[in-house]
């Protein structure tokens, strides 16, 4: 499957910015930007994660960038498929780096051996029932020093023992993004979902989660178009959960 190479043809490199996502969203309000354009920062002073969390990485060590997309073909109620496509692109990229135990943790954390290596923050602006713009923010730990990483994080350096060239890695990530963006455009949603689910933590083998004050073993049995996850307990009970309605505890 080959992409059409639109992602990363234009790259705006910033030395320091609060957040590449914030910057990209503000720029889009002022001017048109070519689809696939990347806003990349050497340093983010207020990098943002999902649900109002922070994304921290030391200057020049890792990839922190946002991709501008105009997925007007994607109905608003199917926007989670963009998130699946981006997760799969990062998954494939990391597999090509020789990392074997990569999984996607719903909704879109990329995990290697129980530690997070990459995070995705997608922000959209809508026009009626269509997506006018999507800003796909990606934080990918590349050369973060293993001694300085938190116990729940990892980096390409920590996993491979080698320093990587950021520019070359960005180029490779873009190729994988192109491939999955092209697949998304074909509208093969079931195929995308199947691929996503095959890489997802908790599919097939039960994982412990905390819901309220209760620890429960669950399996992921489906993902709704809305992005919500369907979890099944050992006793056959199941429920549909949104982000932050439970916590993974593995």
Q: Give residues in contact with ligand BTN (CB under 6 A).
A: 19-21, 44, 47-50, 53, 55, 64-66, 109, 119-121, 137-139
Q: 94 with 117: CB under 8 angstroms?
A: yes
- Residue 114, phi then psi, degrees to nearest 5: 70, 5
CB of 190 to ligand BTN, least distance (A): 26
* Residue 210, token pair as written in the block: 């905390």
Minimum CB separation from ligand BTN for residue 232, in Å?
Answer: 25
Letter string b/e over residues 4-13, b meaning 16 or more CB atoms within 10 A of that residue's CB:
eebbbeeebe
Structure-block tokens of residue 154 = 């990892």
Cα-based distances in Å from 247 to 103, 128, 161, 213 = 17, 33, 31, 11
Q: Choose between 1 and 152: whose C-beta lies nearer to ligand BTN.
A: 152
Least Cβ distance, residue 173 to ligand BTN (angstroms):
12
What does 5-62 look like in DSSP terms, one character per residue? --TTSSEEEEEEES-HHHHHHHHHHHS---TT-EEEEEEESS-B-GGG-B----TTTS
Minimum CB separation from ligand BTN for residue 187, in Å? 27
- Buried b / exposed e over 109-143, threshold 16 CB at 10 Å, is bbbbeebbbbbbbbebeeeeeebebbbbbbbbbbb
Nearest distance in Å: CB 178, ligand BTN: 18
* Joined tokens for residue 223: 């993902």
- Which two three-digit tokens encode residue 17? 């910015």
For ligand BTN, the closer CB: 140 or 241? 140
Residue 139: CB minimum distance to ligand BTN, A: 3
């Amino acid at each position: 499957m080959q992409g059409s190479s639109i992602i990363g043809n234009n790259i705006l490199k910033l030395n320091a910015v609060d957040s590449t996502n914030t910057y990209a969203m503000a720029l889009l309000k002022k001017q048109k930007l070519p689809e696939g354009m990347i806003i990349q920062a050497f340093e983010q002073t207020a990098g943002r994660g999902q649900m109002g969390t922070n994304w921290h990485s030391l200057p020049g060590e890792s990839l922190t960038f946002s991709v501008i997309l105009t997925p007007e073909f994607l109905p608003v109620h199917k926007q989670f498929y963009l998130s699946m496509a981006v997760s799969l692109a990062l998954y494939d990229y990391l597999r090509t780096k020789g990392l074997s135990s990569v999984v996607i943790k719903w909704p879109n954390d990329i995990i290697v051996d129980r530690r997070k290596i990459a995070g995705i923050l997608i922000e959209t602006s809508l026009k009626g029932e269509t997506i006018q713009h999507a800003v796909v923010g990606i934080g990918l730990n590349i050369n973060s020093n293993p001694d300085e990483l938190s116990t729940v994080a990892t980096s390409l350096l920590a996993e491979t023992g080698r320093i990587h060239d950021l520019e070359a890695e960005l180029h490779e990530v873009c190729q994988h993004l192109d491939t999955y963006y092209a697949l998304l455009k074909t509208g093969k949603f079931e195929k995308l979902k199947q691929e996503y689910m095959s890489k997802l933590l908790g599919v097939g083998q039960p994982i412990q989660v905390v819901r309220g004050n209760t620890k429960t073993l669950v399996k992921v049995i489906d993902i709704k178009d809305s992005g919500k996850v369907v979890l099944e307990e050992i006793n056959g009970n199941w429920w549909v959960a949104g982000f932050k309605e439970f916590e993974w505890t593995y």
